[in-house]
Structure 1
Amino acid sequence: MLVDGELDDDIIIISDDEGHPCAAKACKFSPNCLNYLGQENWEDEDVLVNAFMKALALEDNPSFEGREPDFPVGLKLRTLVQHATPTLPFKLVWFRDLAFRSGVYECKPSDDVATKFMDTPIFQLQVTFSALQESTQGCFNPTKLVESLQLRTTEQQDAQEFSKLFMSHLDAEFQKQANPKVKSLVTDQFQGKQVYGTICNKCKYRSERISDFLEIEINLKNNSKLEDRIEGVLQREILSGDNQYLCAECETLQDATRYTELKELPPVLHFSLLRFVYDLSTMERKKSKHTILFPTTLDMSPFLGSRHQSSPVQPSDDNTYELRGVLLHKGPSAYHGHYEAQVYDATNKSWFQFNDETVTRIKVLGETSRKAAISIDIEDSDEK
């Protein structure tokens, strides 16, 4: 040790700054030099940890991927096959629906398939929802959920195609449950009713058919608003000329008016933008580049009921929806691309962007936002 500025006799100086600098090539195998023996690999903590984990074939340290405070859990998609990309962002949106999440948790295996229940999409969805709710990690890898769906691997599915497919599958599974609330969960939460009718312009005979819907499909026009495109869905069509209607009352072909009306709306309302269209000039499917503006709050009262009646439906809180989730397709092609989700987290009262395992708090929704409304190039979903 040092005492009064003098060197202790036990200290041996093996080099000093006045000597010639050593070099790796000259000193690596010199018995008189202690440099370049590989100790630099162990002096760097990050290098040491990586070498240790590689030697033992360990995965990344879970503590490195810990969940940030007040941030939701992301989903690890990059290791999954391309066709599965619309699958998992949808789960992020559906997970925020507390009634739907509760119904998924309450599903129980049938007695005859209990041994295989762990391989079913219902069980894997329960596992995924549990991870999104309780995991301390920043992201969850839902590979087993994707494998349980057994989707086609030859092409990427549209978001609306997958939504219909998976919701139909869930409804079939819910129907097997003894709990009546779970049995009717899809119907109670997502199903609305619409009227498809025709009026003979001569005798005023009316033919109507009521059908159920799980989403409202929206055709796009450039620089349009969501409200205008809903009006487009409900716009009446005149049947005339070669397209006349065979009236059951007149028993002859007559000019007629065809219409669609929204009769009942569900608690959770999905809008599906028909982003992928068929190009007759190239005979191929392509992705539309049109943009659409939509509000964060939407009153559906003006679009409900019979459009031919003079008394419109009065505004009501029951018909007012708050935006809760947006599904985005990134990429120019209709055959491949990348899906991301923008989801409102009620716990943190914030919007988050889910891009694979990367979760980011955001203030602006969609691709651009120059007005109070949102300009977007996506599939989207609204929730009350």
Structure 2
Amino acid sequence: MAHTTVQPSTASLTAGLLDASRGPLHPLAAQTLTAALGVAWADPGARHAPGRAARAHLDTARAVLAGALGARPDELSLHGSAEEALALGLDGLLHARRRAGDRTVAGATERSVLLLRAGAEDAVAVEGTGRVDADAWERAVAAPGVAAAVLQTANGEVGTRQPVERLARAARDAGVPLLLDATASVGREPLPPGAGDVVVADAASFGGPPLGLLVVRTGTRSSLPAPRREAEHGRAFAAPWVPLALAAAEAWRQTEHACADDTREARALVDRVRAAAAGVRDVEVLGDPTDALPHVVTFSVLLADGEALVDELAARGVAVASGSACTSSTLRPSHVLAAMGVLTHGNVRVTLPLASVAPDREDAVALLCRELPDAVRAVRVRMGTEDL
């Protein structure tokens, strides 16, 4: 007798979802992906009719996605992940400028894939909110031997925005090319105009599939070491899978249209979470309270374990995260929080999904605010720290 596997509904998976560092596909992006399987499956480099059709679809998707980053289609390449795009973007700058030096200027809260290349021990210090020390950054980019600089538009773990205009100007004045990491912000708020010689985004941040978007602006010196890459303007070994590119483009079309309303609603929901967390004993809400991404908030709970809090809230129907959004392991203490000088354990991160993929997110926030005090108390009781 044949067995049938019952798949959970999309609604059941997004109920209580407050961890959208990688959220579900926008419904229309999912439909586009399914439809594209029948018309854009071929190798876009092939000369036969299916290949030419796939190429036309890829060109269309590339134009849409380039527009999302204020770039030209011939400046944009598509990659398997945002991490891959970040690594390629920085490697291209460093290899092209290897005669100028081998140092990379980076803030201490940058993503791990960049800090590993930049050298975390040389990272520029950040303030208590996670904002880069602008004076220290200006001195660092003006120092001898600097080949490149990397800067996030905003931190994906605590939400704090960086002073992109000032720091980009300092890099430009020093003749140092800048990689702008916009993986946490694109689709949630506009990009700073003209900032970044190289710009990286993640289609997953605006309801698309996890597809890395890498822009190398015309005139920027960038070259990758051997072996030679044939696809994506010499930045990839193979062309992207076209259905993914089409799904990402559709997600951007839909998100761009709804961005202003979604941002306003998300900001109000995040403010509710901040207020609820601040009302619990020995809980510190982290990051800048106003100059921050509209959909991210993190708080640290003294005398409690972050993973235990995540599990306790999950048992109550709320999906949140702990650890660092910038690393691949939730078991590793957050280098972002460590750089900020705040508690690295007992932290909970909320990343609101787009309303288009989680229409019940307001209910999820209400549930979190209602359950948080008792969840914290329950974890502390189990740990024997409630009366400390």
**Which TM-score band (shorter chain)?**
under 0.3
The structure where helix makes up a greater share of residues is 2
Q: Which one has a larger percent strand, Structure 1 or Structure 2?
A: 1
Name which one, 1 or 2, has greater alpha-carbon Rg. 1
Q: TM-score, normalised by structure 2?
A: 0.26
